[in-house]
Structure 1
Amino acid sequence: MQHALFIYGTLMPGLRLEAEMRGARFMGAAQVPGRLVDLGRYPGLLHGEGQVTGEVYEVDDAHLARLDAVEDMVPGDRAASQYWREGFTVVGGPLQGQRVQTYVYNCPTEGCRPIPHGDYRRYIREVGRES
């Protein structure tokens, strides 16, 4: 089975974990509702006001299972998961209205710096951070 997956952080091309997306088919740029926080070496998407910028890729079941492991998602056990995969509707970009899955940060975020504009690539350029 094929899945539309929205990515917004270190899995994107040119960033630290891009190799994990090898074999996925690029579908387009997109925005989903929510907000981003800086978790140190990577961002976290949270429910809330705003939009998060990223890209949508088509992945198969095996690829999605590998990404679940990369994102420290334990299928069937949300409490044990760092990220949790959820369904969203794209709210901006050429794929507007498309249903996608993405990883929502599932741990406390007190003290984490917000990324107000929701664009991780732009943010790491602004703060001068390698990703």
Structure 2
Amino acid sequence: MTHALFIYGTLMPGLRLEAEMHGARFMGPAQVPGRLVDLSRYPGLLHGEGSVVGEVYEVDDAHLARLDGVEDMVPSDRAASQYWREEVTVLSGPLQGQRVQTYVYNRTVDGCRPIAHGDYRRYIREVGRDS
């Protein structure tokens, strides 16, 4: 089975964990509802006002299970998971209106810096950080 997965951080091309997406099929750019925060070495998507910029890829079951490990998601144990995979609706782009999965940050974000515009690539350029 295949799944549409929205990515918005270090898994994107040109960023630190892009190799984890090898074998996935690019479906298009997208924005989804939510907000981003800077968690130091990577971003976290949270529920809330705004939109988050990223890309959608098609992945199979095995690839998705591997990404769950990368994102420290423990299937069937949300409390133990750093990120939790959820479905969201694409707000804009060629996939507008489609339901896709994404990783939502599942820990406290007290003291974390918001990424107001929701674009992690732009943010790391603005702050001069390597991904």
Matched residue type, 2:64: L
> Which residue in 2 is equivalent to 1:41?
41
Residue type at the aligned position of 1:115: I
Q: How does 1:1-131 map to 2 (within 5 A)?
A: 1-131=1-131
TM-score (norm 2): 1.00
C-alpha separation in 2, matches of 1:91 and 1:6: 12
Structure 1 segments (4+ residues) deviating >4 Å:
none
- Once the two structures are TM-superposed, the CA of residue 84 in structure 1 deviates from its matched residue by 0.1
Displacement after TM superposition at 1:93 (Å): 1.1
Q: Which amino acid aligns with 2:56?
A: V
SS in 1 for 2:35: strand
Task: Determine helix, strand or coil for the equivalent of 2:20.
Answer: helix
Aligned mates of 2:128, 2:94 — CA distance in 1: 29
User: 1:69 Cα deviation (Å)?
Assistant: 0.2
**What amino acid sits opposite 1:62 in the alignment?**
A
- Listed one character per residue, the Cα deviations across residues 91-129 of structure 1 (whole Å, up to 9, x for unaligned) are 011110011000000000000000000000000000000
Secondary structure (helix, strand or coil) at the match of 2:53 reads strand
SS in 2 for 1:27: strand
For residue 31 of structure 1, give the secondary structure of its aligned residue in structure 2: strand
Separation of aligned partners in 2, 1:103 and 1:11: 11
Count of aligned residue pairs for this structure pair? 131
Q: What are structure 1's unaligned runs of at least 5 residues?
A: none
Any unmatched runs of 5+ in structure 2? none
